[in-house]
């Protein structure tokens, strides 16, 4: 079983839409959680850390549910520039990356 | 700049040759990771260095792959007797410590002919 599971998508949404991604992780002792963004043929870049209390950064909201072992990312008012692959990352002694969820925002 | 630096950016070599890839982490970062990513695929963990601890080599796909980190800073990933299936982008990342988020270099695009 993979440490981190994500729906690969693609999620095809119109500009202005709200879209949500989830990922699940297998190790209940995982300690820290992140969302990364990867553009085509580029390196992954940190989007935001994820906390149990939930955290928001502009149009992006991340949430952690430790009891159910899942992490979510909500993007409001989608922009064309949000088109990318979103990677869910879990840390327990080392980092574990999900395979990513592809988002296409259409005009 | 102050980011993770990888060299070379691109490497084309013949099957059977050895290659060395270099990573300069962000100054002061104690953790360093190597990953491999084939086109359209997710990140494949290769090896992890944390401070002076023994590296986690559990992701190395074969004994043709090795890595070292000298003086807790620069790291080199060596692939011996390269095969065509080794063609991929090799990414290096570093973090302040094992719990802090990683910062990636631009990667080395390796092509084996």
Give the pLDDT means over successive 10-residue stretches in chain A (107 positions): 91 97 92 95 95 93 94 97 97 92 97
**pLDDT value for B109:** 97
Is A34 close to B106, i.e. CB distance below 8 A?
no
Phi, psi for B41 (deg, rounded to 5) = -110, 170
| Any B CB within 8 A of A98 CB | yes
| Any B CB within 8 A of A100 CB | yes
**pLDDT value for B56:** 95
Per residue in B58-85, pLDDT (tens digit) is: 999 999 999 999 887 999 999 999 999 9
Determine the 3-state secondary structure of B50 from DSSP: strand
Is A44 close to B107, i.e. CB distance below 8 A?
no
Q: Which of B35, B48, B99 sits opposite A32 (nearest CB)?
A: B99
Q: Which of A43, A94, A97 sits opposite B107 (nearest CB)?
A: A43
What is the strand order of the sheet B65-69 is part of? Answer: B5-7, B19-24, B75-79, B65-69
**pLDDT value for A76:** 98
% of chain B beyond a pLDDT of 70: 99
**pLDDT value for B13:** 96
Closest CA to A9 of A38, A32, A42, A30: A38
**pLDDT value for B23:** 98
Is A100 close to B56, i.e. CB distance below 8 A?
no
Is B42 close to A45, i.e. CB distance below 8 A?
no
A38: nearest CA partner in chain B: B42
Is B101 close to A46, i.e. CB distance below 8 A?
yes
**pLDDT value for A28:** 86
Task: Indicate if the pLDDT at residue B1 is higher than 70.
Answer: no
Task: Return d(Cα B61, Cα B30) in angstroms, integer.
Answer: 24
**Cβ neighbours of B48 in A, within 8 Å:** 94-95
Per residue in B14-54, pLDDT (tens digit) is: 999 999 999 999 999 999 999 999 988 999 999 999 988 99
**pLDDT value for B50:** 93
Per residue in B79-109, pLDDT (tens digit) is: 999 999 999 999 999 999 888 999 999 999 9
Task: Return d(Cα B59, Cα B56) in angstroms, integer.
Answer: 8
**pLDDT value for A9:** 92
């Amino acid at each position: 079983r993979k440490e981190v599971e994500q729906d690969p998508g693609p999620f095809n949404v119109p500009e202005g839409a709200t879209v949500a991604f989830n990922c699940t992780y297998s190790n209940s002792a995982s300690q820290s959680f992140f969302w990364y963004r990867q553009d085509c043929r580029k390196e992954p870049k940190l989007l935001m850390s994820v906390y149990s209390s939930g955290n928001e950064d502009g149009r992006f909201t991340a949430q952690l549910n430790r009891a159910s072992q899942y992490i979510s990312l909500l993007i409001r008012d989608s922009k064309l520039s949000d088109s990318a692959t979103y990677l869910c990352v879990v840390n327990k002694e080392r980092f574990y990356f999900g395979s990513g969820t592809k988002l296409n925002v259409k005009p | 700049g102050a980011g993770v630096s990888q060299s070379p950016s691109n490497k084309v070599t013949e099957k059977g040759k050895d290659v060395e890839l270099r990573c300069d982490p962000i100054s002061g970062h104690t953790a360093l990771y190597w990953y491999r990513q084939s086109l359209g695929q997710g990140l494949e963990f290769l090896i992890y260095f944390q401070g002076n601890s023994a590296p986690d080599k559990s992701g190395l796909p074969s004994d043709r792959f090795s890595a070292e980190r000298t003086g807790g800073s620069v790291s080199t990933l060596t692939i011996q007797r390269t095969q065509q299936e080794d063609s991929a982008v090799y990414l290096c990342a570093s973090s302040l410590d094992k719990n802090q988020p990683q910062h990636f270099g631009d990667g080395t695009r390796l092509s084996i002919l």
